[in-house]
Chains A and B, each alone.
Chain A
Amino acid sequence: MRYLDEFRSGELARALTAELAEAMPAGRELALMEVCGGHTHAIYKHGIDELLPPGLELVHGPGCPVCVIPVGRVDDAVSLALEPNVVFTTFGDMLRVPGSKGSLLDARSRGADVRMVYSPLDALELARANPEREVVFFAIGFETTAPSTAITLLQARAKGVSNFSVFCNHVTITPPLKAILDAPELRLDGLIAPGHVSAVIGSRPYDFIAADYGRPVVVAGFEPLDILQSVLMLVRQLAAGRAEVENQYTRVVRRDGNPRALEAIEQTMELRDSFEWRGLGSIPKSGLRLRTEFADWDAERRYEVPGISVPDHKACQCGQVLRGLVKPWECKVFGTACTPERPIGTCMVSSEGACAAYYHYGRNRPKRGKIQA
């Protein structure tokens, strides 16, 4: 088994599509949010949106780690990168995200030592190999990525690497979902929950969506058949009037997640009182910072950062895209002033951003309308 090809059979996709058309409750329009940007990418890449029966719409959610980082935090990153003697390390996706005074790439052209890494462990290794430099790692991502930063911090402490620090921007998935479900402007019938975040946190944290909001949730894998099967599971719940948390991605996700990963986060990080999200504003208890025990490795304590909230570019509608209110092609600057080469907003930068995914895979396909609330 290779766990990829088996979940990409076109024949089975057709069978699932037929089941799906049959399962649709007559006369109803359904809007399902795929929370994770990885799902958005897969949906456009494999054309899954075009396989859906009439009346069934997929709405993009906020689960793109790069997309939700607000302008102010990008400015902080640029300021850290410009500190003397700092080697600023980041995942490649963040390089081209525009801040109010340019991106990290622009900072590099102004002389900053900005380097792309694949893993936080690579940044730690860079610090060990260059003891005369100060290496800062730009930590972003949901609970999928936070354990990796956590283990790296534990290793930095164990090995006494003092020229390494973390600019922590980790966020948690359930607070923005609650914010979206509380917002009056969008009607959602069910949620496709992120598979890899759930590998860490499990499926239990979504229980409130079924219990308090009466919406079904299915945790989904990332291959085309995973997504189609998850959509079918949601439609069947809706047709039967059920609202439960189900798990399609059982080969990776368990009810209680990965206890070692959760423990590593708990040991190194704690919730901030509030964290600003692009498009969603400040959400209480939604972002993570390093615990005081790790102050020596905390870039926000070791350096002065501006820490100023900066509004988005006027023409950018990323905020509405992230809340499922605007489809990529409905944004005025999509594909014209805003392209992956010269992005205005984050949704066009990250491969998990709805705009970039649509630009790469779908821009010539007929556009489907959105369901009004």
Chain B
Amino acid sequence: MCLGIPAQIVEIVDPEAKTAKAEIGGVRRIVSCALLEGEAQLGEWVLVHVGFALDRIDEEQAAETLQLLSDMGEAYERELASIRASEGAA
């Protein structure tokens, strides 16, 4: 119900009625873009919930979160590597 799924705008259907076609997990359907600020743009990613683009997905913020996560992963790998390299390792 409260599920929102990332989808990409693949066609602007009616700018007046604020409808666009979005591709959601391989399926295309018309969504309302009435909740978005400004007009929907081809290729942009939105979060779709019950036939509405609830909001845009901020690419910069997504990249930042991923960077944070991957830095954490690298720190973990380095830690593991140093444990493996340490004298006490079996």
Contact = CB atoms under 8 A, between A and B. Distances in A.
B49 A196 contact: yes
Interface in B62-90: 62-66, 68-70, 72-73, 75-77, 79
Nearest to A228: B69
B83 to A, nearest CB: 11
Interface of B: 1-4, 6, 32, 34-37, 45, 47, 49-52, 54-55, 57-59, 61-66, 68-70, 72-73, 75-77, 79
A38 interface: yes
Contacts of A147: 35, 52, 54
Contact of B62 (A141, A194, A251, A350): A251
Contact of A16 (B55, B63, B69): B69
A11 B6 contact: no
Nearest to A94: B1
B34 A260 contact: yes
A252 B2 contact: no
Nearest to B63: A1
Given A151-B52, A260-B35, A6 B66 contact: yes
Contacts, number: 138
What 4 pairs between A and B have smallest CB-CB spacing? A119-B51, A15-B76, A3-B6, A251-B62
A199 B54 contact: yes
Nearest to B64: A250
B54 A248 contact: no
A65 B6 CA distance: 21
27 contacts: A1-B45, A7-B69, A9-B73, A12-B70, A12-B72, A14-B76, A36-B2, A64-B1, A65-B1, A66-B1, A120-B51, A121-B52, A140-B1, A142-B2, A144-B54, A145-B2, A148-B49, A151-B52, A196-B4, A199-B4, A199-B55, A250-B58, A250-B61, A251-B57, A251-B59, A251-B62, A258-B55
B19 to A, nearest CB: 9
A145 B49 CA distance: 8
A190 interface: no
Given A15-B75, A251-B65, A2 B3 contact: no
Contacts of A196: 2-4, 47, 49, 54
A264 B89 CA distance: 62
A65 B65 contact: no
